[in-house]
Amino acid sequence: MYSHGTLWEDLGASSGTRVGVEWTRDKTLELLREYQQRRVLWDWNARGYRDRTKRKRAIQELAEILSCNILEVEKKITNLKCQYSREVHKIQNSRDTAACPDDVYVSKWFAFKAMQFLQFGTRRYSKRKKVGGREEYHS
């Protein structure tokens, strides 16, 4: 059984306060470079994508490289992917409503370009869209 101190230290905290990693822009971009190199984590076409052991090993490698724990890496990746998805949706929505090409949203988020690789390795689901009063499916 864990003592409270050991459990908290394993999770990256001590004395009830969060120690955590300071995710600077440089450290975040380093995470993204390393993440991109480990296709099993993001490319559903990659050999090993469905292998939990390989994926876990890849996350452990990221944690070691970045000198932090697995939970911090997983949380940061999740947050980055959510923000990237929001930015992509802003662009798509602005394309639908833009009167001219200059009106299309351009992301100013520092990590957006570094995450462009995700568009090639993630599943695209068709989206229902009303066009002229009827629904059409787009991917």
Which is it for strands 13-14 and 17-18: parallel, antiparallel or unpaired? antiparallel
Residue 31 included in any domain: yes
User: Which residue range(s) make up the domain with 67?
Assistant: 25-121
Q: What is the pLDDT along the chain (139 residues), one digit of tens a residue?
A: 444 444 444 444 443 445 678 999 999 999 999 999 999 999 999 999 999 999 999 999 999 999 999 999 999 999 999 999 999 999 999 999 988 888 999 999 999 999 999 987 655 544 545 555 554 434 4
Residue 42 included in any domain: yes
Residue 92 included in any domain: yes
Residue 130 included in any domain: no
> 105, 69, 102, 75: which is closest to 90 by C-alpha?
105
Helices (H), 13-139: 25-37, 52-65, 70-97, 118-121
Domain count across the chain: 1
Residue 40 included in any domain: yes
**Phi, psi dihedrals of residue 138, rounded to the nearest 5°:** -130, 150
Residue 76 included in any domain: yes
